[in-house]
Structure 1
Amino acid sequence: MTTITGSQLVAHALRDNGVDTIFHIAGAPNVSLTQECEKAGIRLVGVRHEQAAAAAAQAFARVSGRPGVCLAPAGPAIANMVSAVSHATHEQVPIIALGGSGPRDQKGTGSFQEMDELDLMIPAAKKVLQIHSAKQVGSNICEAFRVCQSGARGAVYVDLPADMLYQEIDPKRCFKSYPGVEPARPSASTSDLEKAIEILSGAERPLVVAGSGVIWSKASAELRGFLDLSGIPFYPTPQSRGIVPDDHPSSFPAARGLAFKNADAVLVVGTRANFIIGHFTPPRWDADVKMIAINIDPTQMGRNKAVEVGIAADARTALTQLNELALGRFSPDQYESWIRMLATKQAQAEERSSVAANSNSIPIHPLRLMKEIRDLLPRNTVVIEDGHDTLGFCRHSIPTFEPGHRINPGTLGNVGVGVPFGMGAKAAKPDVPVVVISGDSAFGWNGMEIDTCVREDLPITVIICNNAGITARSENSPMMPSQDLGWSNYQRIAEAFGGSGVRVESPDQLKPALVEALNSGGTTIVNVIVDKFVASATNTGFSGVMGESYQ
């Protein structure tokens, strides 16, 4: 009788669900599985740490629009993935995290790498599954893909016991692998949309705020259509920048605080009322602002802020309906004074920052670095920002123009995953430039993944905003314990693994170094020495030191 193993069935099920790339570390009990994945034509990207594998899978999903997949051995390897799996779930990014575990008949005996992997992952993942028998592989893998992409996206953890992976079974007894259909796209009621139009058209200072739900729904064109026909100013969440190009006429990024504080109505599409957006409550928002929410997850309606209209629907479907109903309902000059207020604030902010952006000071002013980067990046660049102060400087300076092409540490503040994000993005879109702008402290967590980028032919440019420490501080402020890191030669890490590196200490060196790095075709670190006494405007959140850069 011809038999098939659990490892073969897992590899075939992954292939059948469209998987072409897996980020992993080799190890037991997954060796046979990785061999079968290679036979199935799946690319295996071998990383240096399991956190990096899960982070790369998240970036792959964001940039490609498809679930990312990572794989780790048993025990401590699964523990290493937890923070990045939780990060994906918090950001509602669809990934499949596969993890090995020991033979079940040895559980409780003190066997090699014995650990309760499922219990570790329950708080981190949207759902956890254990494949109990090779017979169930096809069914369970398809379920994982359905769950991670349905409703509010998230990570699904799939536990792969060693005895299941090596089990041999008659293929005729197995549940087949049937990839799921396109995720459901529930529509909005006409009456709810009419109420939304009535509120927005009757407002004096309306806004549209949209998030990553627009990316997963593939609703960028529909969102832009509504902005064009209504003329309402627009703000994306940090992770969703690019769903409408940052240079769209409705975009006034530097007037964000003024816009939030003065808005009297807001249409919220595909995002949550969390700290990233100030919960839509005072002090960042007026207490009486009228909120209209379009979200595929009905549990988000009324969370932290009461809604006038709650529409539990798919973003693309609802926006398509909204655009049809809104034709002719908005006047081109209806919000002229509101837009003039925001445009004035935008111009003032740009003028104020231009002094620092053109500074010739040494050490280099961080905003001068950001200006030089901004002026050189192609519009389709995937921009990854990592690190506390670096996030703030990037937010004010670096635009994004395509959906899924901006990634940061998100609501968890999970700094240190910039380089893994970069390699995941590059694996998703090999022909698109990928630039990681990282603080020096943040780079330290996963800087060894530069080796992966070189070894696996995933060329990225890493620009380190090196302020010699963990966050900047004013010149007269005392340092936090262990804050001082020194202006280290991080560029040598790239050189050690076959990439290129350069240290930049003066403004006149910036442009030549950046041009060479961006055009090199290889993995490069540009280590830029910046003023350690220039901090970004971060004064909210825990102890008053974290938060605003993530807004």
Structure 2
Amino acid sequence: MDSAKHAGDAAVAVSKAYGIETMFTLSGGHVFPLYDGAVHEDMRILDVRHEQSAVFAAEATARLTRRPGLAVLTAGPGITNGVSGVATAHFNGSPVVVLGGRAPRARWGSGALQEMDHPPLFETITKLAFTAGSAESIGQDVESAFRTAIAPHRGPVFLDFYMDDLFSPAPAHRVETLTPSPLEPDTDRLAEIARLIAEAERPVLVLGSDVWMERAEEAARDFAEEWRLPVIPNGQGRGLLPAGHDLLVTRARGTAFGQADLVIVAGAPLDFRLGYGWFGGKDGAPLAKVVHIADAPSQLATHVGTAASAAGDLSLTFWGLSAACATAKVDPGRYAPWLARLAETAAAAIAGDAPLLAAEADPIHPMRIYGELAKVLADDAVVIGDGGDFVSYAGKYVEPARPGCWLDPGPYGCLGTGLGYAIAARLARPSSQVVLLLGDGAAGFSLMDVDSLVRHRLPVVMICGNNGIWGLEKHPMQMLYGYDVAAELQPQCRYDQVVTALGGGGELVTSPDEIGPALQRAFDSGVPYLVNIATDPAIAYPRNTTGI
């Protein structure tokens, strides 16, 4: 059409051109024209019970589909409720566009309902935060938002509209180019990295979330397999090499990072999850040389010295690096004993865990839950973690069989992502199992959105590790002070009854031999179902202080 009924039509038409299939929202009058536009464009509208869940669902959609996600938030508190979701998208590099309402231009400055200048709130956690210039420019402004969100390095964009502009007539906008041109890596830098690999005796390759988000999983796996590099995945890099792969040495992580002489980190920041980029130095080993590979120059580490770095499209980078390794005459036989040693260490760790994965302890050891879950998880299951100690066990013991099947909050560590992520996962993977792992603390942030799962007929299996405490806080406080405060929750709280009251199913499990049958009932139920498992509050996930 040459002209839109109102600017909401133009905004939604552009969104649809960028692959948006679902608008996540919580109803508000400031954004009614966007809903009307979605109806005209036959775009699904999925409404939730808290705006944070709308943004988390949009973010998970982006991370699972590798296309942009869209959240629509009404003015004022609707938008401020979404800030943590936008911050999470920022730290995860997720291409999310958040469209917001705004008090009318004609009343601006006179104290209209929910009048607030939103973009300044988002300036530090978005690639771009701005207000549409006019009704006529809204189509172009929305395109600018999407184009910015998907350009390397991906990330969230916030755009709000004056209410009277959004209700006004506006011209249709034709979208010309959807895909940004790939950034070519510097071949000299790739040659330097290849030289370091050729000289190494104990190399490790870390594959992070951006490898998945960049659709570089095939190139990364081919590179690792061709040059026989031991691999440790990070974030959504999990599953890039499937469970059981002979190069996957996740369970030898401490030895690998502590004794490596070269660590190549691709598609992940050198943050606390990777010891801030400091590797080696364990048991007399010297510090390792570090190579950082990113999808954009802005993502290369500046807080720690690196031996080499490269930025560019990650598929092109892995292909180019493989060619450079051939030129440098890299010999995998040089570090084959290192790979064998790591594989042996990983196998020993796995064998050592077997008793706890089948533990008959009462109260229940959290590891027993993961032992039972492994028996019923399909290869294409999407596993979502939202919690502290309980989900830390998942990070260690749930090894995805395929890429794109793991979601956690990422480095921002925001609790409450779970229900929004579960909503998105069920839409993105309609035929796969969707499993949400909840700590009992995290459950308190978003469990009301089970109502959204029920209303929209989205079956999800939820497993709550219920130890009745804030485990990440209670145990450290006890260690530091000999006491703890503000760390208690209600023991065996019936979160399952919350789910059944909202129209789903659930049950409380207090005995280890009940876990397996309860999980099977959950998967067979065809409804949102919460298995509420009482775990031992004395068990703390074993952590170190190095980040590695």
Aligned-pair CA distance for 1:7: 1.5
Distance 1:529 1:134, change over 3 A: same
- Give the secondary structure class of the aligned counterpart of 2:137: helix
Which stretch shows the higher mean deviation, 129-138 or 22-31? Answer: 129-138
> Is structure 2 residue 305 aligned with structure 1 residue 306?
yes
Post-superposition Cα deviations, 1:350-401, rounded to whole Å, max 9, x if no partner, equal 2332222111111111000111112210111111111110222111211112
Aligned-pair CA distance for 1:212: 1.5
> Is structure 2 residue 506 aligned with structure 1 residue 505?
no
Tell me the distance in 2 between the aligned counterparts of 1:528 and 1:342: 34
Tell me the distance in 1 between the aligned counterparts of 2:281 and 2:419: 33
1:89 match: 90
Check whether the contact 1:214–1:315 (CA below 8 A) recurs between aligned residues: yes
2:78 match: 77
Aligned-pair CA distance for 1:184: 2.2
Match of 1:527 among 524, 532, 538: 532
Aligned-pair CA distance for 1:539: 4.8
Post-superposition Cα deviations, 1:398-434, rounded to whole Å, max 9, x if no partner, equal 1112222211121111012112111111122212211
> Is structure 2 residue 182 aligned with structure 1 residue 185?
yes
Tell me the distance in 1 between the aligned counterparts of 2:459 and 2:289: 46
2:118 match: 117
Tell me the distance in 2 between the aligned counterparts of 1:311 and 1:336: 26
Check whether the contact 1:16–1:179 (CA below 8 A) recurs between aligned residues: no
Instruction: Mark the runs of 5 or more structure 1 residues left unpaired by the alignment.
Output: 542-547
Tell me the distance in 2 between the aligned counterparts of 1:440 and 1:423: 19
Tell me the distance in 2 between the aligned counterparts of 1:73 and 1:281: 44
Aligned-pair CA distance for 1:327: 4.4
Tell me the distance in 1 between the aligned counterparts of 2:124 and 2:519: 42
Aligned-pair CA distance for 1:302: 4.2
Tell me the distance in 2 between the aligned counterparts of 1:287 and 1:277: 17
- Give the secondary structure class of the aligned counterpart of 2:82: helix
Aligned positions of 1:306-325 closer than 5 A? 306-325=305-324
2:134 match: 133
- Give the secondary structure class of the aligned counterpart of 1:333: helix
Q: Could you tell me the percent identity over the aligned residues?
A: 30
> Is structure 2 residue 383 aligned with structure 1 residue 378?
no
Check whether the contact 1:52–1:446 (CA below 8 A) recurs between aligned residues: yes
Aligned-pair CA distance for 1:2: 7.5
The code of the aligned residue for 1:514 comes to L
- Tell me the TM-score normalized by structure 2: 0.94
The code of the aligned residue for 1:289 comes to A
Check whether the contact 1:296–1:315 (CA below 8 A) recurs between aligned residues: yes
> Is structure 2 residue 252 aligned with structure 1 residue 255?
yes
1:517 match: 522
The code of the aligned residue for 1:112 comes to L
Distance 1:13 1:188, change over 3 A: closer
Aligned positions of 1:116-515 closer than 5 A? 116-169=117-170, 171=171, 176-281=173-278, 288-327=287-326, 329-471=329-471, 478-515=483-520
Which stretch shows the higher mean deviation, 209-218 or 436-445? Answer: 209-218
Tell me the distance in 1 between the aligned counterparts of 2:3 and 2:182: 42
Distance 1:505 1:241, change over 3 A: same
Tell me the distance in 2 between the aligned counterparts of 1:52 and 1:156: 17
Number of corresponding residues: 539
The code of the aligned residue for 1:139 comes to Q
Aligned-pair CA distance for 1:16: 2.2
Distance 1:74 1:287, change over 3 A: farther
Tell me the distance in 2 between the aligned counterparts of 1:540 and 1:76: 38
Tell me the distance in 2 between the aligned counterparts of 1:360 and 1:507: 6
Distance 1:167 1:492, change over 3 A: same
Aligned-pair CA distance for 1:179: 5.0
Aligned-pair CA distance for 1:504: 1.0
Check whether the contact 1:301–1:307 (CA below 8 A) recurs between aligned residues: no
Which stretch shows the higher mean deviation, 254-263 or 189-198? Answer: 189-198
Tell me the distance in 1 between the aligned counterparts of 2:246 and 2:24: 39
- Give the secondary structure class of the aligned counterpart of 1:30: helix
Q: RMSD over aligned Cα, in angstroms?
A: 2.1
Tell me the distance in 2 between the aligned counterparts of 1:199 and 1:166: 59
The code of the aligned residue for 2:255 comes to L
Which stretch shows the higher mean deviation, 461-470 or 331-340? Answer: 331-340
Tell me the distance in 1 between the aligned counterparts of 2:236 and 2:420: 16
1:21 match: 22
Aligned-pair CA distance for 1:153: 0.9
The code of the aligned residue for 2:459 comes to P
Instruction: Mark the runs of 5 or more structure 2 residues left unpaired by the alignment.
Output: none
Check whether the contact 2:204–2:260 (CA below 8 A) recurs between aligned residues: yes
- Give the secondary structure class of the aligned counterpart of 1:272: coil
Tell me the distance in 2 between the aligned counterparts of 1:249 and 1:282: 23
- Give the secondary structure class of the aligned counterpart of 1:138: helix
Check whether the contact 2:461–2:529 (CA below 8 A) recurs between aligned residues: yes
